[in-house]
């Protein structure tokens, strides 16, 4: 997980991590997180079904009805199944945001100062 952040590069040829960029290597986060999301977005929006079906298989995404549609709707459905952000966002807010009772104490000072 540490190698996804900062100047850590992964070389697909040697299958090793390095802090020095080599030919064909990319930053870990870009290569393993951003690029797959970007490829999926482009393939679905451009209706390249053969390409996004291959990506679905690589990412273990099972879809039936969504494949027959075009445009933004299948993209939304795919993202909900693959990366369900709603549960993660709610959990993060519950853990990190203060309760209204606690927050009101210091916000009142700012509002009426």
Q: Are 24 and 10 spatial neighbours (Cβ–Cβ below 8 Å)?
A: no
Given phi > 0 = left and psi -120 to 50 = alpha, else beta, which region is 86?
alpha
- Domains of the chain are 2-83 (3.90.1430.10)
49 vs 88 pLDDT, higher one: 88
Enter the tokens of residue 43. Answer: 């393939």
Model-level pTM? 0.61
Residue 64 has pLDDT above 80, yes or no: no
Tell me the mean pLDDT in the region 27-42: 84
Q: Provide the angle, in degrees to the nearest 10, between the axes of the packed helices 49-59 and 35-45.
A: 140
Rounded CA separation 33/59 (Å):
12
Q: Which pLDDT band, with edges at 50, 70 and 90, does 68 fall under?
A: low
The residues that bridge with 10 in the sheet, in sequence order, are 17, 26
56 vs 94 pLDDT, higher one: 94
């Amino acid at each position: 997980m540490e190698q996804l952040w900062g100047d850590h590069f992964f070389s697909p040829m040697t299958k090793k991590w390095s802090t020095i960029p080599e030919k064909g290597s990319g930053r870990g986060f870009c290569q393993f997180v951003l690029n797959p999301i970007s490829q999926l977005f482009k393939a679905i929006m451009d209706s390249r079904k053969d390409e996004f079906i291959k990506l679905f298989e690589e990412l273990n995404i099972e879809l039936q009805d969504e494949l027959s549609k075009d445009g933004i709707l299948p993209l939304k459905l795919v993202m909900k199944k693959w990366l369900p952000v709603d549960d993660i966002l709610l959990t993060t807010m519950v853990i990190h945001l203060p309760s209204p009772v606690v927050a009101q104490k210091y916000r009142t000072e700012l509002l009426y100062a």
